[in-house]
Amino acid sequence: MADNHTGELRRSLGVFDAVTIGLGSMLGAGIFAALGPAARAAGPGLLLGLAVAAVVAYCNATSSARLAARYPASGGTYVYGRERLGEFWGYLAGWGFVVGKTASCAAMALTIGSYAWPSHAHPVAVAAVVALTAVNYAGVQKSAWLTRLIVALVLAVLAAVIVAAFTSGAAGAEALRPVGTTVGGVVQAAGLLFFAFAGYARIATLGEEVRDPARTIPRAIPVALAIALAVYALVAVAALAVLGPQRLGQATAPLVDTVRAAGTGWLVPVVQVGAAVAALGSLLALILGVSRTTLAMARDHHLPHALTAVHPRFGVPHRAELLIGAVVAVLAATVDLRGAIGFSSFAVLIYYAVANASAVTLRPGEGRPVPAIPVIGLIGCVVLALAMPPASVLSGLVVLAIGVAAYAIRRIRAK
């Protein structure tokens, strides 16, 4: 039984549960929505962008897995940065994660509303946030079971899209050749597609709730990433082959357009339901991750200490979850979907940059990865972050500056 204020969380998740939570985060709005913007940025070089995003994601996954095995506590890179680089860098990572992923929660909620009931997207988004906050409040094990069902349904829908595309007469290999692709376009596409890969960090932020974290976390993160990459690659090839880069770049619902062009219009409502359910799975895991990082930062007094409370029955940080749920509900009722996604991508890349910088400091006896891996990950995160649209970069820098100012004020007052 967890203590009501500063007790430890319940360790109830195994490898399979951790993998499904990571997949529930990755197989969300990214695969249903990011293909269009990525194709606009890179044209036929979309697949190259996917490869770049996968390399950066692999480096981040490896760094995160090694760090999470050594520091199996809630908070993810907030904890790693604090322990390896110093309090400020841990705080900066935690701040970037909380604000970036809170915006991402709103984006996922709006995606649910847009697919489920387009004319009432905002009210549906708010309802989804309230419902999933209640699920998480009842305990992480219940969340893991729901995520299993969501992942199974989404994979089935994506498999139907892939089969429909590859068995139709509309698919053509010419559209897969990266002719006329620019380096800048590929890098921006990689940044947009990286948004869809970022879910594996949710496993690391649950470090205090998995059984045998030194074994579970390093196994679960690469497995979840490899499955997501395989699915993303197949879907991207299918969409490109059927629609071509120009039509794919103009599509607001790429997979709906893909099944229509493939002559399987009866799959349209199935894909719409799959998109809504996928975003639901991402939102479920996102709320989990943000609330755990909030808990870790509150334990260190970077956020109000009252947020450290752990529910005596359910063993979850219930005050942190309720606060995050309330903030996301307000954002879901008011913000624009594209703005939320762009801001979130920038902030999350900064978060992973700190993770890679932390992994660089690991010694051989501490499970250090191949030295080139965190270095490539660090450089990749910075490059992809700066390649995002200017408005996203500017808003991200402003919010990070606000967080730095708050940190400085707290340190001054503590003296």
pLDDT at 1: 39
User: In this structure, is residue 71 part of a structural domain?
Assistant: yes
User: In this structure, is residue 162 part of a structural domain?
Assistant: yes
Query: If DSSP codes are grouped into helix, strand and coil, which group holds residue 13?
Result: strand
Render pLDDT for 266-315 as a digit per residue (tens, 0 to 9): 999 999 888 888 888 778 778 887 888 788 888 888 888 888 988 888 77
User: In this structure, is residue 255 part of a structural domain?
Assistant: yes
Residue predicted with more confidence, 203 or 133: 133
Render pLDDT for 343-374 as a digit per residue (tens, 0 to 9): 888 998 999 999 999 999 999 888 888 999 99
pLDDT at 69: 77
Render pLDDT for 11-26 as a digit per residue (tens, 0 to 9): 667 777 777 777 776 7
pLDDT at 305: 84
CATH number at residue 141: 1.20.1740.10
Look up the domain containing 20 and give its range: 15-414
pLDDT at 206: 62
User: In this structure, is residue 9 part of a structural domain?
Assistant: no
Task: Check: CB of residue 55 under 8 Å from CB of residue 376.
Answer: yes
Q: Using CB atoms within 10 A of its CB, is residue 66 exposed (0-12), middle (13-18) or buried (19+)?
A: buried
User: In this structure, is residue 175 part of a structural domain?
Assistant: yes
Phi/psi of residue 167, nearest 5 degrees = -100, 0
What does the block give as tokens for 225? 């990433």
pTM above 0.85, yes or no: no
User: In this structure, is residue 264 part of a structural domain?
Assistant: yes
Residue predicted with more confidence, 6 or 257: 257
Q: Which of 407, 404, 361, 356 is nearest to 382 (CA)?
A: 356
Phi/psi of residue 140, nearest 5 degrees = -65, -30
pLDDT at 345: 83
Q: Which pLDDT band, with edges at 50, 70 and 90, does 204 fall under?
A: low
Q: Which pLDDT band, with edges at 50, 70 and 90, does 5 fall under?
A: very low
pLDDT at 407: 92
Q: Scan for tokens 């063993």, then name that residue.
A: 315
User: In this structure, is residue 279 part of a structural domain?
Assistant: yes
* DSSP, res 33: I
Q: What average pLDDT does range 64-76 have in this prediction?
A: 78
Task: Check: CB of residue 136 under 8 Å from CB of residue 143.
Answer: yes
The radius of gyration computed from the CA coordinates of the chain, to the nearest angstrom, equals 20
Q: What average pLDDT does range 234-240 have in this prediction?
A: 92
Residue predicted with more confidence, 322 or 220: 322
pLDDT at 196: 78
* pLDDT value at 258 more than 80: yes
Q: What average pLDDT does range 79-102 have in this prediction?
A: 91
Task: Check: CB of residue 204 under 8 Å from CB of residue 26.
Answer: no
* pLDDT value at 29 more than 80: no
Q: Which pLDDT band, with edges at 50, 70 and 90, does 7 fall under?
A: low
Q: How many domains does the chain have?
A: 1
Nearest-angstrom CA–CA distance, 233 and 264: 21
Query: Highest-confidence range of 123-127, 218-222, 337-341, by mean pLDDT?
Result: 123-127
pLDDT at 4: 44
Nearest-angstrom CA–CA distance, 95 and 159: 37
User: In this structure, is residue 4 part of a structural domain?
Assistant: no
Query: If DSSP codes are grouped into helix, strand and coil, which group holds residue 383?
Result: helix
Render pLDDT for 175-193 as a digit per residue (tens, 0 to 9): 777 777 788 889 988 988 8
Q: Which pLDDT band, with edges at 50, 70 and 90, does 410 fall under?
A: confident
* DSSP, res 86: -
